[in-house]
A and B are shown apart, each in its own frame.
Chain A
């Protein structure tokens, strides 16, 4: 009889622990971000044509010339992409070389977007079917990747860049350069 009591309490304890775990997990905010599994790996080979006349297109070879860069995945139809424009501008003024991939975008729309929100990019590739986006494990716009001089992805920033993200991205860029 005594032994049965003990085992019953153990079952109650296990059930309590389970409910505790459920309560804890349910109280945690949901993480909607899908992290890229490509961080730490070389950027896959690609060659995108230009989308606007003022900037050349972008290929994977351009990203492996020794200089670390920020790769911004954006689109003119994406509202947070407009919101992060001042931060991209600040990054460029701080000396960052920023290249971009325009996702599913018409040239005239990109042109207008850059006129309104500024153009901090040295190169812009045109990705009409999200092929480069899928190849680097990006699941939305905007996203910003740090690429080192050998073309290896060292960091992924998901979502628009807020003001307090700027120093962190510059630090990641500095780390990629050393």
Chain B
């Protein structure tokens, strides 16, 4: 029994440093909604398409990391101050690059992603058309 308790204590001692977090309260608008429901809606939709930098595979709307809270605060206060969601996204992209945004962006590096499927579809269409076309001609001959 004693040994188990010691093991448990040791385990707890090892997990403590990993839990190192700040002791500050969250930023004012990290968890508080804006009074204006349309603005809150705008802010919320935007938050779902912004990447949490600390947790990386979550949006800032889904994360409880303090930094995600601070980012939500920025989003809400900027929207409340009259900025459009587009402007807020541009502000973050100018800090962290496209990485911070989950919204697909056509740019000088991403355009092949949008063009390639169209090219492939067109190619497949032509091949199919020519083959089927050839067959129907054979049939009619």
B141 within 8 A of A: no
Contact with B along A78-89 (1 / 0, CB 8 A): 110000000000
List B contacts of A140 (CB < 8 A).
Answer: 53-54, 67
List B contacts of A176 (CB < 8 A).
Answer: none
Q: Are B24 and A128 in contact (CB under 8 A)?
A: yes
* Known pairs A78-B20, A128-B24, A140-B53; A34 contacts B67 (CB<8 A): no
Q: Are B20 and A79 in contact (CB under 8 A)?
A: yes
Size bracket of the B interface: 20 to 34
Size bracket of the A interface: 20 to 34
* Known pairs A129-B73, A134-B70, A140-B54; A106 contacts B97 (CB<8 A): no
Q: Are B96 and A37 in contact (CB under 8 A)?
A: yes
Contact with B along A130-144 (1 / 0, CB 8 A): 110111110110000
Count A/B pairs, Cβ under 8 Å: 65
Q: Are A77 and B23 in contact (CB under 8 A)?
A: yes
Contact with B along A37-81 (1 / 0, CB 8 A): 110000000000000000000000000000000000001011100
List B contacts of A136 (CB < 8 A).
Answer: 95
Chain A residues 124-160 with CB under 8 Å of chain B are: 128-131, 133-137, 139-140
A119 within 8 A of B: no
Contact with A along B16-54 (1 / 0, CB 8 A): 010011111001100000000000000000000000011
Contact with A along B68-102 (1 / 0, CB 8 A): 00110110000000000000000011111101100
Q: How far is the CA of A79 from the CA of B21 in the complex (A)?
A: 10
Chain A residue with Cβ nearest B21? A77
6 examples of A-B residue contacts, CB within 8 angstroms: A34-B97, A77-B20, A128-B24, A129-B28, A129-B70, A130-B67
